[in-house]
Amino acid sequence: MDFDQLRQLVAIADEGTMSAAADVLRMPQPTLSRSIRRLEEDFGFELFDRVGRKVTLNDAGRTAVEWARQLLRDGQLMRDAVETSARQSQMLRVGTVAPAPLWRLTALLVERFPRETLTSRTLDQQDIIHMVSNGTLDLGIVEANNPNAKPEILHDANLRSCSLMVEELSIILPPSHPLAAYKSLTAAQLDHETFLIMTDIGFWKQRVDHALPHATFIAQSDSMVFSQLAHSSPYCMFITNAPFRGGPPAGRVIVPFDDPSAHADFLLIARNDARPMALDLFDWANHA
């Protein structure tokens, strides 16, 4: 008994006759009849009542059809599960400290490997370096001048690194805001302001918390809600020069944030013996 025979049995039940099932299965009727006979021999029971050229499922046959349908469904679920597992094992595993450089890397992946994808996690810088070093991650996106990372790790002989992108923060303000007329703003000027922010800004949250310890942050996790509030809120917001973020809400003023914490150089890191696709993407990013 095999899946082809089970499909043949179900086709006969669905089509009502052996000849109609043979047409659907695109096989000669005598071949189908012989296959069903072998299936009956495997069971040790006849599955059809035969009167002349007419065949009708008997009780054993109807039971066999019910089980055949279930086995075919289970077989498809098994194939789907195996395919999903195989695809996931081939996906690039990426850890990142911030969202914008991940979007940059994803764009490069689409250029180089249009049919491939990646899985990503937002992690602390030291965790990313450690997980790339031990092979848990294929690629890591870290911040070049992060004071919380041990610089010597980035110069590990087993790791390679290249520049991925530079990101800078500016401030979005309503035109009526007292600070909107300035050409640039310092941390001291912004330290007591209220900001509307998204929750998925990665290490930038720690950056602005440190630079603006007395500021108030109203966090939103829903991008649709954030977008709606962005058009009506009287509060300050952050925007970056990353093209993936989109432009500011209409009618708002953008003022550069003049502070070292508003500038980030992102590096892409990989093990020297990483998987070929990871190294290929690394080289693609290095020369982009």
Q: Which domain holds residue 164?
A: 92-285
Which CATH number covers residue 60?
1.10.10.10
pLDDT reported for residue 54: 77
Contacts 24+ apart (CB under 8 A), 86-91: 88/119, 90/116, 90/277, 91/116, 91/117, 91/118, 91/119
Domain end among 88, 106, 137: 88
Q: Are residues 72 and 53 in the same domain?
A: yes
Q: Are residues 57 and 99 in the same domain?
A: no
Q: Are residues 67 and 124 in the same domain?
A: no
Least confident of 79-88, 154-163, 226-235: 79-88
pLDDT reported for residue 271: 93
Measured CA to CA, the distance from residue 220 to residue 197 in angstroms comes to 6
pLDDT per residue over 197-256, tens digit each? 988 777 788 889 999 999 999 999 888 888 888 888 889 999 888 866 566 778 889 999
Does residue 83 register a pLDDT over 70?
A: no
Does residue 144 register a pLDDT over 90?
A: no
Q: Are residues 21 and 131 in the same domain?
A: no
Domain end among 88, 105, 130: 88
> How many structural domains are present in the chain?
2
Written as six digits, the tokens of 255 are 């003022």
Does residue 151 register a pLDDT over 70?
A: no
* Position 183 confidence tier, pLDDT thresholds 50, 70, 90: very high
% of the chain residues with pLDDT over 70 = 91
Q: Are residues 45 and 64 in the same domain?
A: yes
pLDDT reported for residue 86: 55
Does residue 128 register a pLDDT over 70?
A: yes
pLDDT reported for residue 90: 67
Q: Are residues 114 and 70 in the same domain?
A: no
Measured CA to CA, the distance from residue 229 to residue 7 in angstroms comes to 56
Which CATH number covers residue 203?
3.40.190.290
Does residue 89 register a pLDDT over 70?
A: no
